[in-house]
Every structure is written in C-alpha cells, then in structure tokens.
C-alpha cells in the first residue's frame, strides 16, 4: 500500500487515499495479501464506525493496491476482497435547524469562515482549503476556485457568485488576513478542517463533515426550485446527470408533471364524501 500510494503521488486523489490508509493501516498493515478474503473484509467493516460508502471506498482502495502489487510484481498473489453494497443516492445533509445548531458550536474564526464557504458555494473541501485571496473578486462578487496551472479532472473547479452573508464574512476575514490563503490559522494554510468539524459535532449533537456542507447547500438549492442544470454548473458537474441522480428528488417539482399526467383531470378516482 505504501508503494502504491507513492506511485500516485501526483494525482488529485492522493491526499484522500492517504487519509483512507491512515484509517485502514492498523487493521491491514501486517496482513499477508494472500489471506485477504470476504470474512476478513467483513471483519474490517465491523470495526469502522463509518457509512457503507466510506467503508466501500476504503476496501476498494485495498483491492486496487493489491491489483497494483500483483501487476508490479511486488507480491505474487492476492486474496479476494468483499465490498459493502453501493448505497443508492446516499445524501447526508442538514436541515436548517440542524445547521444552526452545528454552526453555533463552530468556534474558531477560520472554521466558521470555512463552514460558510462550504455551504454557500457547495465547493469541495480541497478547493476551499486551497483558495487564495487573489481569486476572490470583491468588485464583481465572484470566487474562482481554479488555481493557476490546475490540471482539470472529473472534479471540476468552478467560478461562483458571492452572496450577501458570505460577502460580509469574507470582507471581515480579508481585513484580518495574515496569509495569502482564505482559510488560514496562525498565518499558515489549513491543511485539514476535520478536527474542527468533529469538535463542533460533539458539542452540538449534529454530525457533520466538510462534505456534508456541499450536500446541504445543494439540497437547499433543489428544495428552493433551482434547476438541475444550474445546480450542476455551481457544483462543477460536467452535465446534470450526476446532479439529478443525487438531488432532483429534493425539488418540489420533481416528477410533478408525471403525476399530473397520470391523474389527468377526470374526477372518477376521487373519494366519495
């Protein structure tokens, strides 16, 4: 696994895969690849207090590393991994009441600014942590999340509009800045915001992760009637198929025309008084 991670060091997924391995390492680091099987995979799943999607991601990474090891002749053979079923449309988001409770317990200024950026721009955690002030245009009220020289991947970076609440928070942070980075602490860029989220989750009783904010903003937008095409642009999806898959059902008009067409205007199905 260490060699596999080193082989993908330049790829965008490297950081996330490193974090996954930190969580996996205690269970897997001394296991002979040949003895990996369904029972062992299920035993690992039982040790992880995470969603099925997270456990599936970790076990898929294990399988990928084992395949790489065989291809590169690092190991002679590998066992067969088991994966949890892929959860359909699993979208963890907060209600407005839950968000208020959570946000009230976010204490560090840089963490509070991160939360507002995450909610109001629906941007991915890495894009927010890498954001620099030169890409925040206060005059036109735009944020460009694409850094210079960024290699475009499937997770596209976008340009988003700054709303009133976020504008005020950014202006205050800009006055107090000590770094080129928007999310900073002690004059240095913040590499991970997870601890702040864990602490606020414990204090508020509302579980949230950095990615929860992206889903929350998208769900609120869908509930407000925003079209899937517009939401796809905001979220950096290449088209709205992914957006519709996850968020269309939250729209008040979702499948409304289908229901209306089925019902028609005939009173013949109406219940009698």
pLDDT along the chain (273 residues), means of 10: 92 86 95 94 93 89 95 92 75 92 97 97 93 96 86 70 96 96 95 93 94 94 91 86 86 80 65 60
- 52, 179: one domain: no
Which H, E and C letters describe 97-146, residue by residue?
HHHHHHHHCCCCHHHHHHHHHHHHHCCCHHHHHCCEHHHEECCCCEEECC
- 122, 226: one domain: yes
What confidence score (pLDDT) does residue 155 get? 62
**Structural domain span for residue 13:** 2-71
The answer to whether 206 and 101 have CB atoms below 8 angstroms apart is yes
The total domain count for the chain is 2
What pTM value is reported for the model? 0.68
What confidence score (pLDDT) does residue 153 get? 55
* Structural domain contains residue 36: yes
What confidence score (pLDDT) does residue 270 get? 62
What confidence score (pLDDT) does residue 264 get? 74
* Structural domain contains residue 269: no
What confidence score (pLDDT) does residue 5 get? 95
Indicate which CATH number applies to the domain containing 135.
Answer: 1.10.443.10
What confidence score (pLDDT) does residue 151 get? 60
- 54, 187: one domain: no
What confidence score (pLDDT) does residue 115 get? 98
What confidence score (pLDDT) does residue 62 get? 95
What confidence score (pLDDT) does residue 12 get? 74
- 175, 225: one domain: yes
- 116, 31: one domain: no
* Structural domain contains residue 30: yes
- 101, 166: one domain: yes
What is the Cα 146 distance to its own chain's centre? 17
Instruction: Name the phi and psi angles at 159, rounded to 5.
Output: -110, 125
Structure token pair of residue 190: 């913040």
């Amino acid at each position: 696994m260490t060699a596999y991670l080193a082989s993908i060091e330049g790829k965008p997924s490297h950081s996330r895969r490193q974090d996954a391995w930190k969580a996996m390492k205690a269970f897997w680091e001394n296991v002979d690849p040949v003895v990996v099987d369904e029972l062992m995979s299920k035993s690992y799943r039982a040790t992880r207090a995470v969603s099925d999607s997270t456990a599936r991601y970790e076990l898929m990474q294990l399988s990928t590393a084992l395949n790489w090891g065989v291809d590169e002749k690092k190991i002679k053979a590998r066992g067969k991994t088991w994966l949890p079923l892929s959860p359909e449309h699993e979208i963890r988001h907060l209600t407005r009441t839950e968000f208020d409770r959570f946000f009230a317990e976010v204490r560090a200024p840089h963490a509070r600014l991160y939360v507002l950026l995450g909610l109001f721009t629906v941007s991915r955690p890495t894009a927010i942590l890498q954001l620099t002030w030169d890409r925040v245009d206060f005059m036109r009220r735009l944020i460009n999340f694409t850094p210079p020289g960024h290699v475009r991947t499937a997770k596209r970076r976008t340009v988003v509009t700054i709303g009133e609440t976020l504008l005020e928070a950014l202006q205050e942070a800009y006055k107090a800045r000590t770094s080129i980075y928007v999310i900073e602490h002690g004059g240095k860029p913040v590499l991970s915001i997870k601890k702040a989220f864990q602490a606020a989750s414990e204090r508020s009783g509302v579980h949230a992760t950095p990615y929860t904010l992206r889903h929350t903003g998208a769900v609120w937008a869908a509930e407000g009637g925003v079209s899937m095409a517009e939401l796809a642009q905001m979220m950096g999806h290449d088209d709205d198929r992914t957006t519709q898959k996850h968020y269309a059902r939250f729209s008040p008009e979702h499948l409304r025309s289908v229901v209306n067409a089925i019902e028609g205007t005939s009173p013949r199905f109406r219940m009698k008084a």
